[in-house]
């Protein structure tokens, strides 16, 4: 950007900030500090560091699979950065046992006959590699029950195995990326219809568990048979083509458990070509090398935390955070370096702006989220409440709110209030001077799948922001395309400013945010009841 462009941008920003100061706040008794909003916007838009943070977390320290060398290097970077900013007690903090780490150093796969062609793929986490580069025959193995395994005994040693039919694909007619329209936001703001099923309302848990149990038996059988590697397609409906790989884990984290066989996810296109060749009677040979490593040096899981001390209400806390870990096929940019960097930038903005919060502001970046919200659950269970019995610890009554970001790079458009009616007039007032950034929507609805649930499960207000979907679910979520290129700088800057504004106003209120009734203990329903 040239000097004239920078001057023009600065002039435009000054106009925007003056307009922001002139906007009347909602008809509410809730205080809105427009001078603080001005300072936050000025620092966040004129001196933003969010993309620098993202470059470090992705290009330098990505991916960040929990307990991998990449995760620990990124954690050290975050601790050093927050210490440099003057935050107190920047640290890593153990939350409980996670298991060993895993990393991949090399992957290569190529069909050598009947016609040579390269394969795009990636190994699944916590699965072993091969002993160097090997060439072997590929075969289809169809298993519907345990009887099929008996018939295959002694036939698979040293072979590459394909066990799943490729998913059917068809043209994708919808755009990969999108932003919420006004109509969609209005629909989201409305309470859901009573009795409506949620996202997983028709999910057959019994069938899922049966399929998982059979899959475990198949993996154990293939391991005992000595197969060279197991291949499967990247199968997310509607988006598993075009080179996109959706990759997670395939083996145990516990070093005491038996290893799984080597496992590789291929793009649907390449997997389907191999499958068709085999089905049509062609003999297929493949050359493969997988160099993966287990890391047993540290089995504890660690979160990253730091404090911005308050003044007269310093014993009370406002928390902000997101999960720091990622899957491994990309660099964990939209999931969730985006959320972690926005939170880091938000607390940097507050510190740099010279604002002094009344309550202590605590940032928490979680590990183990991708394996089941483990880091946030572990921290909550140790510091706020035991959800199994709903035993409350002293700090439970001192946390005003926890704010989370974990839905990619998309701009924040509002807040899921998680059923908490009491915060609506408060959030509406704080949101008013942020309307010119596109934040206009409050919904009473719940949203799931991320770390605010650990707080909500023990009665501490926990909130996730509404974000534009962009191409998160269609392309970058858990995929090899989850890289720096998928990030939108303007959205990231807006998000940090919005978060800083909400956190600051929460820290300055005379009272804690309103709470819902304390949930019932979750004993017998899992440790967190969700």
DSSP 249: B
Tell me what pLDDT residue 210 has.
Answer: 81
Tell me what pLDDT residue 168 has.
Answer: 83
Quote the CA–CA distance of 399 and 292 in Å, as a whole number: 42
Tell me what pLDDT residue 200 has.
Answer: 52
Helix 489-508 to helix 34-46 angle (10° resolution) is 150
Map residue 210 onto helix, strand or coil.
helix
Quote the CA–CA distance of 494 and 319 in Å, as a whole number: 19
Give me the CATH topology for the region 101-192+200-295: Glucose Oxidase; domain 1 (3.50.30)
Those residues with Cβ within 8 angstroms of residue 235's Cβ, 6 or more apart along the chain or in another chain: 164, 166, 167, 246, 268
Those residues with Cβ within 8 angstroms of residue 40's Cβ, 6 or more apart along the chain or in another chain: 349, 350, 353, 355, 497, 500, 501, 504
Looking at the DSSP bridge assignments, the partners of residue 322 are 365
Beta-sheet strands, E only, within 114-237: 117-118, 121-123, 134-140, 160-162, 229-233
Greatest Cα pair distance, the chain, in angstroms, is: 78
Peptide bond into 336 cis (omega under 30): yes
**Do 395 and 384 contact (CB within 8 A), yes or no?**
yes
Residues composing the chain: 530
**Local mean pLDDT, 10-residue blocks, the chain (530 residues):** 40 40 53 97 98 98 98 98 98 98 98 97 97 97 86 94 89 87 94 71 72 84 95 71 86 93 95 97 98 96 98 98 98 98 98 97 98 97 94 97 97 97 98 97 94 97 97 91 97 98 98 97 55
Tell me what pLDDT residue 15 has.
Answer: 38
As a whole-number percent, the residues of the chain with pLDDT over 70 amount to 90
Map residue 105 onto helix, strand or coil.
strand
Those residues with Cβ within 8 angstroms of residue 282's Cβ, 6 or more apart along the chain or in another chain: 114
Which residue, among 337, 261, 296, has the nearest Cα to 103 in the 3D structure? Answer: 296
Domain-wise residue ranges, the chain: 22-98+299-508, 101-192+200-295
Tell me what pLDDT residue 235 has.
Answer: 73
Pairing of the two strands 462-467 and 412-416: antiparallel
Q: Residue with structure tokens 């560091």?
A: 49
Structure tokens at 380: 């909550």
**Domain 22-98+299-508, CATH number (from 3.10.20.30, 3.40.190.100, 3.40.630.10, 3.40.50.10140):** 3.40.630.10
**Do 337 and 326 contact (CB within 8 A), yes or no?**
yes
Tell me what pLDDT residue 28 has.
Answer: 63
């Amino acid at each position: 950007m040239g000097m004239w462009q920078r001057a023009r941008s600065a002039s435009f920003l000054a106009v925007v900030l003056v307009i922001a100061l002139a906007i009347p706040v909602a008809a509410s008794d809730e205080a809105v500090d427009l001078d603080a909003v001005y300072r936050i916007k000025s620092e966040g838009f004129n001196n933003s560091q969010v993309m620098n943070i993202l470059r470090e977390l992705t290009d330098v320290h990505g991916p960040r699979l929990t307990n991998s060398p990449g995760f620990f290097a990124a954690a050290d970077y975050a601790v050093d950065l927050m210490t440099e900013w003057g935050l107190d007690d920047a640290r890593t903090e153990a939350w409980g046992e996670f298991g060993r780490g895993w990393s991949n150093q090399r992957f290569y796969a190529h069909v050598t006959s009947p016609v040579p062609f390269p394969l795009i793929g990636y190994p699944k986490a916590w699965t072993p590699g091969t002993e160097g580069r090997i060439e072997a025959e590929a075969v289809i193995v169809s298993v519907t029950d345990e009887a099929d395994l008996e018939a295959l005994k002694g036939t698979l040693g040293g072979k590459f195995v394909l066990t799943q039919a490729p998913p059917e694909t068809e043209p994708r007619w919808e755009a990969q990326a999108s932003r919420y329209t006004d109509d969609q936001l209005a629909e989201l703001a409305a309470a859901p219809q009573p009795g409506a099923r949620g996202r997983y309302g028709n999910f057959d848990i019994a069938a899922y568990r049966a399929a998982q149990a059979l899959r475990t038996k198949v993996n154990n059988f293939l391991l005992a048979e000595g197969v060279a590697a197991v291949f499967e397609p990247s199968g997310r409906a509607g988006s598993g083509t075009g080179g996109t790989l959706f990759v997670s884990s395939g083996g145990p984290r516990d070093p005491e458990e038996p290893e799984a066989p080597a496992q590789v996810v291929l793009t649907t296109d390449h997997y389907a070509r191999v499958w068709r060749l085999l089905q049509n009677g062609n003999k297929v040979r493949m050359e493969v090398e997988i160099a993966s490593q287990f890391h047993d040096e540290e089995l504890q899981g660690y979160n990253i935390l730091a404090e911005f001390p308050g003044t007269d209400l310093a014993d009370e806390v406002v928390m902000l955070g997101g999960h720091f870990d990622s899957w491994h096929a990309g660099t964990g940019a939209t999931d969730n370096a985006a959320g972690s960097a926005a939170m880091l930038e938000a607390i940097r903005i507050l510190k740099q702006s010279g604002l002094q919060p009344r309550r202590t502001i605590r940032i928490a970046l979680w590990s183990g989220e991708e394996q089941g919200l483990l880091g946030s659950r572990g921290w909550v269970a140790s510091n706020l409440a035991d959800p199994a019995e709903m035993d409350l610890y002293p700090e439970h009554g001192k946390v005003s709110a926890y704010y989370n970001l974990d839905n990619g790079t998309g701009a924040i458009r509002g807040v899921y209030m998680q059923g908490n009616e009491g915060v609506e007039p408060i959030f509406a007032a704080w949101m008013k001077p942020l309307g010119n950034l596109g934040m206009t929507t409050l919904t009473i609805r719940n949203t799931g799948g991320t770390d605010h649930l650990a707080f909500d499960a023990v009665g501490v207000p926990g909130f996730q922001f509404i974000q534009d979907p962009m191409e998160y679910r269609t392309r970058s979520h858990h995929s090899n395309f989850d890289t720096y290129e998928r990030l939108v700088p303007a959205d990231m800057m807006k998000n940090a400013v919005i978060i800083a504004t909400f956190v600051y106003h929460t820290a300055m209120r005379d009272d804690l945010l309103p709470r819902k009734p304390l949930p019932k203990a979750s004993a017998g329903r899992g440790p967190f009841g969700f």
